Amino acid sequence: MAYLVGGVFVALFAWAALRSLYLRYWGIATTGTVVSLELTRDGDGDTYKPVVAFTTQHGVRIEAKSMYGTPEAGTYFRVGEQVRLRYAASKPTCFAIEGYEVSAVLFLFFFAIAGAAILWWAFTT
């Protein structure tokens, strides 16, 4: 079981990091507008995910929700605010708001460390 948990943590970080790198270097840069902040409430408190609208290089209007949510996004972003973002040409709903989603990948880095520690423990015991 420890192998599975550790492997999932490491894989989750690797996927998020690769997605972030792909969008950073090969994503198409544009400006979008924050159209809403989606609120999720659970036992840990409130989490906000920015929803942005932008137009692709082919003139298609996209409205999509960020993959990452934080409690701070509710005060950091404002509806109507212009944000820089990068999106995947083949799937424009896959996007990253410049400067915002980097912190999420850094947060996932701690999961990778935890996963590596769990795997190390599992292999050495």
Query: What's the predicted TM-score (pTM) here?
Result: 0.74
For position 10, what pLDDT does the model report? 72
pLDDT over 90 for what percent of the chain?
A: 42
Assess contact for 26 and 75: CB atoms under 8 A.
no
Q: Residue holding tokens 């005060």?
A: 75
pLDDT tens-digit map of 43-71: 878 889 999 999 999 999 999 999 888 88
Give dist(CA 86, CA 92) in Å, integer. Answer: 9
